[in-house]
């Protein structure tokens, strides 16, 4: 029984739906950039009327927003939010669906170890995220060349790749939650609640301005202003993410192997 193949077949439709949706959002928002650039001063005056606290909360920088990379970093706010929801949804759903759909008894009585089950489901979900981001990256690079002529593609790619890095953390967090929670009846509401909760924490962290506040929300691990200024990620937060991903994944394996899984 090829668990990976079955899982990928189950995820294939939603994968392409997410891929096309993210590409469509990018197309819609990036298509507005030429008009935005022409009326940059008018937009600057409009945004300047907002309180500084509001600008910080939504990641609006008047100094960079009128450049293409600055505008794209603002677009990525919404792309990152949608990508995090997809990743959290996958993390929470991959292992919990056997109990929720009452197929655990069928799967766990097969001559397949739980370690192999987790690995197959994990790689199917990672394949889904990989395909989504491959399609989005191709679309984003194509769109950049159409709407702007002075694109720093190195920095642009780093900004874009911050999305799958963010997704990886949310996916690992969702995985470990799925084996810690006794039963997840509905994945999407929980995914939305957790992701938006972290997003709001990120807004609060921006308002507070304390460096320590950034550690409580993954949305602040990849600061786009820093990426644009240095063409690099902040190494401390990259290391922190990798450590968390390893811990969450290892915890998932350890708990799932010993967990008493109810079929009904």
Lowest mean pLDDT among 24-38, 118-132, 204-218: 204-218
Per-residue pLDDT tens digits for 221-242: 998 888 988 999 999 999 999 9
DSSP 28: H
| Dist CA 79 CA 177 (whole Å) | 23
Per-residue pLDDT tens digits for 36-49: 777 766 666 666 66
Q: In terms of Cα–Cα distance, which of 135, 137, 138, 143 is closest to 32?
A: 143
Q: In terms of Cα–Cα distance, which of 236, 231, 207 is closest to 221?
A: 236
| Dist CA 160 CA 233 (whole Å) | 12
Query: 98 near 182, Cβ under 8 Å?
Result: no
Q: What is the pTM of this model?
A: 0.88
């Amino acid at each position: 029984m090829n668990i990976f193949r079955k899982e990928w077949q189950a995820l294939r439709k939603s994968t392409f739906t997410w891929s096309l949706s993210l590409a469509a959002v990018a197309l819609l928002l990036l298509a507005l950039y030429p008009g935005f650039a022409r009326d940059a001063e008018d937009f600057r005056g409009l945004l300047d009327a907002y309180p500084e606290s509001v600008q910080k909360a939504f990641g609006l920088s008047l100094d960079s927003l009128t450049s293409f990379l600055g505008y794209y970093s603002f677009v990525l706010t919404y792309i990152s939010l949608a990508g995090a929801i997809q990743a959290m949804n996958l993390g929470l759903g991959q292992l919990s669906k056997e109990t929720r759909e009452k197929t655990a008894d069928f799967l766990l009585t097969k001559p397949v170890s739980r370690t192999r089950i987790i690995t197959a489901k994990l790689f199917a979900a990672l394949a889904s995220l990989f395909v989504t981001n491959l399609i989005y990256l191709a679309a984003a690079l194509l769109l950049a060349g159409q709407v702007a002529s002075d694109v720093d593609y190195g920095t642009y790619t780093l900004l874009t790749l911050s999305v799958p890095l963010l997704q990886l953390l949310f996916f690992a967090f969702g995985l470990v939650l799925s084996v810690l929670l006794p039963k997840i009846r509905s994945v999407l509401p929980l995914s939305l609640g957790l992701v938006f909760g972290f997003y709001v924490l990120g807004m609060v962290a921006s308002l507070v301005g304390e460096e320590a506040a950034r550690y409580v929300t993954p949305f602040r691990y990849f600061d786009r202003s820093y990426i644009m200024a240095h063409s690099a990620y902040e190494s401390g937060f990259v290391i922190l993410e990798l450590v968390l991903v390893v811990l969450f994944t290892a915890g998932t394996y350890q708990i799932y192997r010993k967990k008493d899984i109810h079929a009904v």
